[in-house]
Amino acid sequence: MFLSLPTMTVLIPLISLAGLFYSASVQEDFPQGCTSTASLCFYSLLLPITIPVYVFFHLWTWMGIKLFRHN
């Protein structure tokens, strides 16, 4: 069963925030450790940024297809 969009909109930032708080409390090199791809902190910062960018470019592509069809 898939989760609805409003549920995912709330759930993904909360999971990312929990991962960020976990990284801040457990890792000694917290601010510098976020650059390593093996770190949970890296992905907890990357996930909230990736989703709006994906939605923007998805809508940009859809709009381009719509404009191309009508010309």
pLDDT digits (tens, 9 = 90+) for 24-69: 787 777 767 677 777 777 777 777 778 778 888 888 888 888 888 7
- At residue 20 the predicted structure's pLDDT band, cuts being 50, 70 and 90, is confident
Is the model more confident about 8 or about 64? Answer: 64
pLDDT at residue 3 greater than cutoff 70:
yes
pLDDT at res. 1: 57
Residue 26 DSSP label? H
CA dist 35 and 32 (Å) reads 6
Q: Which residue carries 């996930």 as its tokens?
A: 47
